Amino acid sequence: MVNDDEWMTIDATLIRWFYTTILKDLFHTVLSDEDDAHAIWTKLNGLFTDNKLQRKIFLHGEFFGCQQHDSSIDDYCMRLKKLSDELRDLGEKVSDELLLSTLTAGLNEDLGNAASNITLIPNPAFPKVVAYLKLEERMKMARTRATHTALATGTSRGGAAPAPAPQPQPDPGAY
């Protein structure tokens, strides 16, 4: 097909599409001077499928070790969902039950009560639990704000606090 101008245009378009849609470092890793679109695609595909077992092991470690720490519920849940999707792409079954168990195990201490309440949700599913945890997070933030506001209001009266009245000292010679 090297002599077919239409095919060469299509081939060049596909190569340009690869270049614009993947990381430049990744593109340059697989590119050789004489490669056509099929050769580039085959090499790219090989990068992701040749190390399937190693990727599964790595993703399992990341998935089961995922912790919320200081991140928001949104960030934590998106990270878990992304990892479970990557595992599914590799042929691993990640049930909703396993996803929810991992989610609950990685929650920070501030949401400990919320985590124990998840079992009370009828037919718990990942989106439903995420919505519940987002609400709990918002309520926790509102309580924290209210506490800080009350503390600030209780300690500032607009002026300096009055000095305490002097206490009379006992006369040492009176005894």
pLDDT, tens only, 116-170: 888 788 888 999 999 999 998 888 888 776 665 655 555 555 555 566 666 766 6
Tens of pLDDT along 28-67? 888 888 888 989 889 888 887 778 888 899 999 999 999 9
Do 33 and 66 share a domain, yes or no? Answer: no
Say what the pLDDT of residue 48 is. 75
User: pTM for this one?
Assistant: 0.57
Start-to-end Cα distance in the chain: 118
Q: Which of 137, 119, 141 is nearest to 76 (CA)?
A: 137
User: Is 156 inside any structural domain?
Assistant: no
Say how far apart CA 111 and CA 143 lie, in whole Å. 13
Are 57 and 44 within one domain?
no
The answer on 133 and 80 residing in a single domain is yes
Has residue 166 been placed in a domain? no
